[in-house]
Structure 1
Amino acid sequence: MKNNLVPSLVGVLVSLFAVWWLHGFLLVDRCLDSGGAIDHKTNLCMGENEQVIELATSSGMLVIYCIVIMFVSLLAGSLVRKLFKR
């Protein structure tokens, strides 16, 4: 049972890291597309006159996150299983 749990756990952790990185990338992209700029000290999207632009997570982004989580988790779990067999 322990050998079956480790690849799944690694797959989930890798997929969460991938979604965390993807979320930051997409938010910066949306900020720049809306005419804002990223304030790197506060990690906020700033518009004209130092207004904070709020960026909501759309349902399309949530679907992309779910697909990425499933794909990356399966891929990372499969790779870890192959490494443990050797």
Structure 2
Amino acid sequence: MNKSAIAKFIGVFVSLLVIWVINDLLLIQPCVNEGGVFQYEKGQCLLEDGNIFTTGFEMPLVVLYVVIGFGVSYFVSRIFNKIFAKK
């Protein structure tokens, strides 16, 4: 396996971690703060009274995840190649 493939793998892994943290901060924590339980199967926040809690920016987050996924993986792989590439 060449170093370019390793750098890309590390970039994708880091971007998944960043998306996971953003998802936790913007979707799950507000749900828990409102006293609800986040249902991972449905991707919804169910409050104690049975209502579904929405923050209003769930759909724009999907676009943000794609942009973050490509951007972070690209820049991390470039940085990894610059630091660890032996020329």
Equivalent residue for 1:27?
27
Equivalent residue for 1:66?
66
> Distance in 2 between the 1:27 and 1:8 partners?
28
Aligned pair count reads 80
Q: TM-score under structure 2 normalisation?
A: 0.69
Aligned CA distance change for structure 1 residues 38 and 76 (closer, same or farther; 3 Å):
farther
Q: TM-score under structure 1 normalisation?
A: 0.69
CA contact (8 A) 1:36 1:53 kept: no
> Distance in 2 between the 1:2 and 1:52 partners?
51
Give the gaps of 5 or more residues in structure 2. 40-44
Partner of 1:70: helix, strand, or coil? helix
- Greater helix share, structure number: 1
Equivalent residue for 1:37?
35
Output the aligned Cα RMSD: 2.9
Q: Percent identity?
A: 24
